[in-house]
Amino acid sequence: MAGREITLKNCRYVVRDHKVIEENIDILIEGRYIVDIGRGLGGGDEIDCREAIVLPGIVNAHTHAAMWIFRGLFDRGELHEWLKNVNKAEEKLTPRIVYLASKIAMLEMLSNGITAFVDMYYFPEETLKAVKETGIRAALGPVLTDEVVEEGESEKLVKSFIEKTKGFSRIKTVVNVRSLYSVSPETIREASKLTQKYDLDIHMHVSETRREIYLCKKRTGLFPVEYLNSLGVLNKRFILAHLGWVTSWELSLIKDKNASIVHCPASDMKLATAGFFPLRESLDFGINVGLGTDGAASNNSLDMFREMKVAVLLQRNNYWRTDIGERDVFRMAIENGYRILNIKGGVIEKNNVADLVLLDVKDLNLNPLSRRNVLSNIVYSANGNNVIATFVGGEIVYHREQKEAIYHSITDTLEEIQECINEIA
């Protein structure tokens, strides 16, 4: 069965990818997929898109959804100092709070045109439950620590998580390892072994601060990526988040092993990690670099439009040159995100998943508007509130007409969350 048909009629602009933009064109969706793009298409539910810009869904390739609860609570202190406060606060979190907070974070991400995210957090089954309910696409899974390795529990954890995602094509299991400095090499090796056995991704914070580089170098004699390579774990399923401090020869290793990087500029800047992530060099190497907001505890926004712009601003400021531009970051946030997820999407073309975002051409910040500047306006002036609707796998999972209803449906949840916050701060 092909599933429900939807036609997006007469879309004012369709940003098919970072280069190809079309005007006044239709998109035909059947079930979960885009089946045709052209003029004079029709069938199923027809949606008038004369006042819409259509782009592929955006991937928040590194976040901690449940940390939505900490938005605006910890705004000072460099990363390691900040982490101390956050870790203390995390002791107050219950599985139920993780479920509730991560669910609202997903609603917010969907309202911002984010169709998929890669997550790392405690109680991933709770976040998983929210993913199932909201209709968003996600890669998430157990966080492996030294404790579970010692007890030989990690495989059980991973298998059980895979079991729970069965039947959900939009959910992928990822094996999370917090960081080099928080686990033993055995845990990293074990995580990697499991990802190979079960064909999964592995997701880890790497080279976020100078301090981390210093500790790794002192302890192992190697830079973090060299060290990961020495453990034999670098491969195409490895997602390295941050990488603010990285050498050119580490980039070569990443390229050789086909691992992916996720750049999180706003969070890195806010936490004063002072990173000089060499984005131009990484892209020139042909490394797949995605973009992430990180959690609302550190960013504090979950708006990937803003993240795209900040990525450009940071590079231009750090390198005193303007060679990184709107095309690079648009591609990172969208096409490269789908590559990380290993899903045929991120470009509006036949047979790709129908993960789409509609923006409102009537918003003044998107004008003046023409084919010439539509991509620039999306990257440098758009924000999440320009979103009319978000589609995941052919389903409308957010429409701005629901805004009031969403808020009123979560008022009790917000109160429950606030009670938890009051215990923390």
**Distance between alpha carbon 53 and the CA centroid of its chain, in Å?**
22
Residue 284 sits in the site that holds a copy of itself (CB under 8 A):
no
Residues 251, 261, 269, 333: which binds a copy of itself (CB under 8 A)? 269
Unique residue bearing structure tokens 């390198």: 319
Residue 262 sits in the site that holds a copy of itself (CB under 8 A):
no
Question: Which of residues 79 and 158 has its CB atom nearest to a copy of itself in the complex?
Answer: 79
Question: Rule CB under 8 A: which of 75-114 touch a copy of itself?
Answer: 75-78, 104, 107-108, 111-112
Q: Is the dihedral of CA 405, 408, 412, 417 positive or negative?
A: positive
Residue 13 sits in the site that holds a copy of itself (CB under 8 A):
no
Q: Which amino acid is at 26?
A: D
d(C-alpha 277, C-alpha 271), whole Å: 15
Closest CA to 116 of 293, 306, 337, 300: 337
Residues 230, 381, 396, 399: which binds a copy of itself (CB under 8 A)? 381
Question: Which of residues 289 and 311 has its CB atom nearest to a copy of itself in the complex?
Answer: 311
User: Would you state the structure tokens that stand for residue 348, as one six-digit string?
Assistant: 């509006």
Contact 278, 328 (CB under 8 A): no
CB of 123 to a copy of itself, least distance (A): 18
CB of 20 to a copy of itself, least distance (A): 17
Q: Which amino acid is at 156?
A: K
CB of 67 to a copy of itself, least distance (A): 11
d(C-alpha 23, C-alpha 258), whole Å: 36
CB of 284 to a copy of itself, least distance (A): 17
Question: Rule CB under 8 A: which of 130-169 touch a copy of itself?
Answer: none
CB of 424 to a copy of itself, least distance (A): 10
Question: Rule CB under 8 A: which of 383-402 touch a copy of itself?
Answer: 383-386
Residue 363 sits in the site that holds a copy of itself (CB under 8 A):
yes
Residue 21 sits in the site that holds a copy of itself (CB under 8 A):
no
Question: Rule CB under 8 A: which of 293-352 touch a copy of itself?
Answer: 296, 299-303, 306, 309-310, 312-314, 316-323, 325-326
Q: What is the DSSP letter of 57?
A: P
CB of 311 to a copy of itself, least distance (A): 11
Question: Which of residues 231 and 421 has its CB atom nearest to a copy of itself in the complex?
Answer: 421
CB of 375 to a copy of itself, least distance (A): 8
Q: Is the dihedral of CA 60, 66, 69, 72 positive or negative?
A: negative
Question: Which of residues 165 and 300 has its CB atom nearest to a copy of itself in the complex?
Answer: 300
Question: Which of residues 34 and 109 has its CB atom nearest to a copy of itself in the complex?
Answer: 109
Residue 41 sits in the site that holds a copy of itself (CB under 8 A):
no
Residue 266 sits in the site that holds a copy of itself (CB under 8 A):
yes
Distances (CA, A) of 40 to 17, 150, 193: 22, 62, 51
Contact 263, 290 (CB under 8 A): yes
Q: State in Å, rounded, how far the first CA of the chain is from the last one.
A: 52
User: Would you state the structure tokens that stand for residue 182, as one six-digit string?
Assistant: 């928080």
Helix 304-319 and helix 326-333, axial crossing angle in degrees, nearest 10: 130
d(C-alpha 79, C-alpha 200), whole Å: 29
Question: Which of residues 230 and 381 has its CB atom nearest to a copy of itself in the complex?
Answer: 381
Residue 212 sits in the site that holds a copy of itself (CB under 8 A):
no
Question: Rule CB under 8 A: which of 42-81 touch a copy of itself?
Answer: 68-69, 71-73, 75-78
User: Would you state the structure tokens that stand for residue 223, as one six-digit string?
Assistant: 């830079």
211 CB-contact burial (10 Å; exposed 0-12 / middle 13-18 / buried 19+): middle
Question: Which of residues 252 and 367 has its CB atom nearest to a copy of itself in the complex?
Answer: 367
Helix (H, G, I), strand (E, B) or coil at 108: helix
